A and B are shown apart, each in its own frame.
Chain A
Amino acid sequence: MNKRTKGESLFPMWLFFVYLGVLLLMSGIHSGLLLGAGQWGWGGLLRTLSPILYWAAVAGGLTVFTRYRIRITYEEPMLRLADATRKVAKGDFSVYLAPIHTPDKTDYLDQMFLDFNQMVEELGSIETLKTDFFSDVSHEFKSPLAVISGSADLLQKSPALTDRDRKEVDSIRDATRRLADLIQNMLKLNKLEKQTIRPAPSVFDVCAQVCSCAVQFEDQWEKKNLDFEADLEDSADVYADPGLTELVWNNLLSNAIKFTPPGGAITLTQKTMDHWVEVSVRDTGCGMTDETMRHIFDKFYQGDTSHATQGNGLGLALVKRILELSGGEITVESQPGQGSVFTVRLPRPEGQEAQT
């Protein structure tokens, strides 16, 4: 599309002729001024100052005028475009740029805006397709897994099984569960990386959320005879996506329980700071070396290979990614044999209205 009909250039040739004309006129006036000064018999100081002041005024005027022209023709539309592209890069496809001029006066900037709008619209529809695709993939993977796991559960109840058979069936069930978790985490991570899941932040009470997540693990810590202690404030508001932070707590708590030997302790603490709300999960598990700590947030990294059967190495990568997208952060402190502390910081609401 080469529509160069109207407004071929925002700074057309005639503008420069205007500049030339104005400058020539000015220098004409300058000569006139010099002649006039001689005739009217101006004194030495006035005679020196007048052309300086005169040219300062002319230069100043032209500079301001040029600056003004650049600002209204280029800078303002470009800033709008920059804002819009940033929004799109962050995954907001509802962006629309209004053209600067009415349709009968469109220039190439307007054309660019219109093309940009069209591009964003296209991207948006591709994005929807992709989201649907992922949800379909997850469904397709999980359906056969559901059958395997269901049949294994059923087989487990059969009275004809020997102890050895039962163990084998248990392995099938475990493996199915792990595969299902792996698929789930992989798809989530993928969506977060491709930004098909866009964080939808709101103001909510993180204490209430952490508590409800924690009680879901009660059976597990009781089974392992772990001492679970929670030390939280009554409530603390944060500004984040509650659907995503829930994944963070679930991952950290399930890791803590996984890596703490029976009889150990897990401590959940929460503090409110100036700009952050801090939640820590401390365990008395096997701990990590510096080398391990450097890599735990990498995909598919397993610190301790003896635990490899229990996880899929994606949980912490997912957690990290979520916190990056939420404007939060996660830090870890650990020493081999001394347990680990994972500390998550989430931004407190500043200026965002609390939602009830």
Chain B
Amino acid sequence: MIHILIVDDDPKLNKTVCIYLNDCGFETTGVLDAQAAYEALNSRPYDLIVSDIMMPGVDGFAFARSVRQLDKHIPILFMSAKDDLPSKQKGFQLGIDDYMVKPVELAELEMRVRALLRRANIEAERKLTVGNLVLDADGMTAEIDGEEVPVSKREFNILYKLLSYPKKTFTRAQLMDEFWDADTDASLRAVDVYITKLRDKCSACDGFEIKTVRGLGYKAVLL
């Protein structure tokens, strides 16, 4: 059973979110402020935290900061009425994993919670399995049907990224920023070249496909 902690000072919203996520098969605990959240976190382990920002007493930023100091890995999702860039930036700098602006669509919240848990899982296991492909993050190796496929470090990283966020499109600039040095002279076409190579090497994979979003970027789609 996956345990989720909901921290929001609005009792009604808190309850609604808890019921919805319970219906989705999670076990939730709702608390109204950071103090109660600390107590809940001390009493048992949680797999994910959903937190508001503007709360009486300790606010979400301070809460996230202190949680991060104790646990580097637990996914934190901010759910706030604040929609300005500085708040989002501040949140992500503190190490939160996702940010949603209120009012949130609960179906979307569920989707994002599942995606966060999935990524946390991948991170914990250091291994990603999609169909007949297994990626091992420690060894940087890829295996298809148990046979190792030679991939370069960069090819591995791009594939690992795309498969960690299935259905999410990454723009070529985003991939370039992440996997090439900042002072590279390579043009965005270099990304296209790597994707072509990856498609070639993964032609025997049955679990996913790398799709082109014309003029923008690439995404992995699970089959």
Contacts and interface: CB of A to CB of B under 8 A. Distances in A.
A252 to B, nearest CB: 16
A268 interface: yes
B173 A229 contact: no
Contacts of A126: none
Contact of A147 (B16, B169, B215): B16
Interface string B1-41: 00000000010110011011001000000000000000000
Contacts of A150: 12-13, 16-17, 20, 103-104, 106
A145 interface: yes
B72 interface: no
A157 B217 contact: no
Contacts of B84: 135, 243
A211 B177 CA distance: 13
A188 B10 CA distance: 24
Nearest to A267: B215
Contacts of B124: none
A356 B13 contact: no
Interface in A116-173: 135, 138-139, 142-143, 145-151, 153-154, 157, 173
B204 interface: no
A287 to B, nearest CB: 24
Given A143-B10, A153-B105, A228 B214 contact: yes
A207 interface: yes
Interface stretch (A77-85, A212-220, A323-331): A212-220
Interface string A218-243: 10000000001111101100000011
B161 to A, nearest CB: 14
Nearest to A242: B85
A144 B13 CA distance: 8
B215 A232 contact: yes
A135 B82 contact: yes
A131 B83 CA distance: 14
Given A143-B81, A154-B106, A157-B23, A268 B215 contact: yes
Interface in B183-200: 187-188
B129 interface: no
Contacts of A180: 102-103
| B54, B83, B105, B173, most chain A CB atoms within 10 A | B173
B174 interface: yes
Given A146-B10, A230-B214, A151 B16 contact: yes
A142 B81 contact: yes
Interface of A is mostly: helix
Contacts of A173: 105
A231 B20 contact: no
Nearest to A268: B215
Contacts of A139: 54, 81-82
Given A151-B16, A157-B23, A215-B217, A143 B102 contact: yes
Contacts of A146: 10, 13, 81, 102-104
Contact of B216 (A138, A176, A230, A246): A230
Nearest to A234: B188
B70 interface: no
Contact of A142 (B12, B102, B188): B102
Nearest to A246: B85
Nearest to A140: B81
B58 interface: no
Given A246-B85, A268-B215, A215 B169 contact: yes
Of B23, B105, B170, the most chain A CB neighbours within 10 A belong to: B105
A205 interface: yes
A20 B83 CA distance: 70
A148 B106 CA distance: 12
A182 interface: no
Nearest to A145: B103
Nearest to A183: B81
A232 B177 CA distance: 17
Interface in A302-356: 356
Interface of A: 135, 138-139, 142-143, 145-151, 153-154, 157, 173, 176-177, 180, 184, 205, 207-208, 211-212, 214-215, 218, 228-232, 234-235, 242-243, 246, 268, 356
